[in-house]
Amino acid sequence: MSFRVTAHRRAEEDVAQVATWLASQSLEGAARWLDAYDNMIDQLRDSPLSFGLAPENEMVDSEIRQALFKTRRGRVYRAVFSIEGDEVRVLRIRSPGQGLIASDELGIA
């Protein structure tokens, strides 16, 4: 079964913010990060249930999972997402060193 992956507005803003910052440091680095992000999205499309629960799962009523993906230099990023039927909804993207996401910043009820 293939899942449909959508991104919450906040996740889209997170992606833009990370890509913009990385591009200010290295256009090549930003392109590689976007490739890693796209590869993670492909994995969510194929098998979102293979990813574990996010630490934020304990703060909300619905199930929240996380997909970890990393750059060539080994910096680990997190995509926090939910699954509803055949839709995977990416809620937020977290950069290394960022703490947990407050429940009101997840964009879910």
Q: Does residue 41 lie in a domain region? A: yes
pLDDT in tens, 89-104: 999 999 988 888 888 7
Q: Does residue 80 lie in a domain region? A: yes
| pTM to 2 decimal places | 0.91
Q: What is the pLDDT of residue 41?
A: 97
For residues 80 and 94, is the Cβ–Cβ distance under 8 A? yes
Q: Does residue 107 lie in a domain region? A: no
Q: Does residue 104 lie in a domain region? A: no
CATH code for position 38: 3.30.2310.20
| Run of H or E including 40 | helix 27-46
Instruction: Give buried/exposed letters for 4-18 (b at 16+ CB in 10 A, else e).
Output: ebebbebbeebbeeb
pLDDT in tens, 63-90: 999 999 988 878 899 999 999 999 999 9
Percent of the chain predicted with pLDDT > 70 = 99
Q: Does residue 93 lie in a domain region? A: yes
Cα–Cα distance for residue pair 4/97, rounded to 1 Å: 29
Q: What is the pLDDT of residue 109?
A: 55
For residues 71 and 33, is the Cβ–Cβ distance under 8 A? yes
- The domain containing residue 79 runs over which residues? 4-99
Q: Does residue 36 lie in a domain region? A: yes
Total count of domains within the chain? 1
